[in-house]
Amino acid sequence: MIKAGKKLSQERRLALIGFLFVLPAVILFIVLVFIPLLQAFYMSLFDWSTIREVKKFIGLKNYIDMFHDPKFIKSVKVTITWTIIVVPSIIFFSLLLALILNLKSLRFKGLFRTIYFIPVVTNMVAAAFVWRWLFEPTNGVINYFLSLLHLPQPGWLADPKWALPAMMIVGVWKQIGFAMVIFLAGLQTIPRDMFEAAYLDGASGVTMLRKITLPLLNPTIVFTSVMLVINAFRVFTIPYVMSAGGFTYGEPGGPLDSTRVFVIHIYDYGFRQFELGYASANAFFLLLVIMVATIIQFKTLERPFEY
């Protein structure tokens, strides 16, 4: 009896200690995530502006107004375009690179891996300034290369048609290394004897890729794509830095809102026009989209979370 009681109190003691270990994170989670989230939802139900000094409950009107706002529709279109082009491009290129760099017979693999990883650790604001100049239509290096190849030289960031593609090139540039390293790690978990057995059965390289590598790599691909999709919905620095600036460039998200991604849209309403209620409603919409996208992607991932 005594022994059991002691055990119980020991169990309680450990539960308490465990809780204490978790406590700092839980408190910070509540203060920095949970309360702001509730607050954001609360604000989204108001016509709330610090400039007009209004705070009036309007229910779901912000959410309804949103769908009649051409800027909202434009920014959704821009963000979707960004996501469906940038994410598959990154996955394609980084998977290709990872497959090449996973070959045994190749040399200088370490060097190439380092080079491809450099953009990941390069400060994005600084890099965006550099890219803006590489894309400069007259003296920029990119148009210089195009002129050497006798290709047409677009106006890039000055042209509403080409501004977004230019920024997407930078978005892919920044994240290839990251995805590549994850794929390399995933490739290393595939047992070599599977390939050997397939080789003995007379399978060609392409067949092995299709039948062994890609299926076994599938969880890694899904994981990477989930992360990349979340990143794509949240992109801000690249379009902000590359589109805005003085009188010669213009407003963030320009020219003519052609690069107004969703976060620039929220920033514009929240921190430039101070329509806090409306901006919060937009932010909540973003949360909803990310949740749905994540759940859809995880549905295809078989391995559940362990904890």
Using CB under 8 A as the binding rule, the residues of this chain from 44 to 63 that contact another protein are 50-52
Output the CA–CA distances (angstroms, integers) from residue 71 to 23, 175, 266, in the order listed.
42, 28, 11
Is 287 a binder of another protein (CB under 8 A)? yes
Using alpha carbons, select from 170, 153, 142 the residue that is nearest to residue 242.
170
Report the residue from 89, 102, 122, 218 that binds another protein according to the rule CB under 8 A.
122
Report the residue from 60, 73, 84, 125 that binds another protein according to the rule CB under 8 A.
125
Q: How far is residue 74's CA from residue 268's CA, in Å, rounded to a whole number?
A: 14
Q: Cβ of residue 171: shortest distance to another protein, in angstroms?
A: 13
Report the residue from 8, 84, 100, 151 that binds another protein according to the rule CB under 8 A.
100
Is 85 a binder of another protein (CB under 8 A)? no
User: With CB under 8 A, what is the number of residues at the site for another protein?
Assistant: 123
Is 178 a binder of another protein (CB under 8 A)? yes
Residues of this chain, 200-229, that bind another protein according to CB under 8 A: 220, 223-224
Residue 47's DSSP bridge partners are 56
Q: Cβ of residue 214: shortest distance to another protein, in angstroms?
A: 16
Report the residue from 9, 84, 189, 204 that binds another protein according to the rule CB under 8 A.
189
How many residues make up the chain in this entry? Answer: 307
Residues of this chain, 238-277, that bind another protein according to CB under 8 A: 240-241, 244-251, 254-256, 263, 266-267, 270-272, 274, 276
Q: How far is residue 117's CA from residue 91's CA, in Å, rounded to a whole number?
A: 15
Is 151 a binder of another protein (CB under 8 A)? no
Q: How far is residue 221's CA from residue 217's CA, in Å, rounded to a whole number?
A: 6
Token pair 């599938």: residue: 218
Is 164 a binder of another protein (CB under 8 A)? no
The secondary structure of residue 275, as a DSSP letter, is B
Q: How is residue 219 written in tokens?
A: 């969880």
Sign of CA dihedral 159, 155, 173, 149: positive
Report the residue from 64, 84, 141, 209 that binds another protein according to the rule CB under 8 A.
141
Q: Cβ of residue 205: shortest distance to another protein, in angstroms?
A: 9
Q: Select the span of 73-81, 84-92, 157-165, 190-198 touching another protein (CB under 8 A).
A: 157-165
Instruction: Enumerate residues 6+ apart whose C-beta is below 8 A from 25.
Output: none
Is 5 a binder of another protein (CB under 8 A)? no
Report the residue from 25, 149, 200, 206 that binds another protein according to the rule CB under 8 A.
25
Is 22 a binder of another protein (CB under 8 A)? yes
Instruction: Please give the distance of CA 255 from its chain centroid, rounded to a whole number.
Output: 23
Output the CA–CA distances (angstroms, integers) from residue 249 to 18, 124, 255, in the order listed.
55, 19, 8
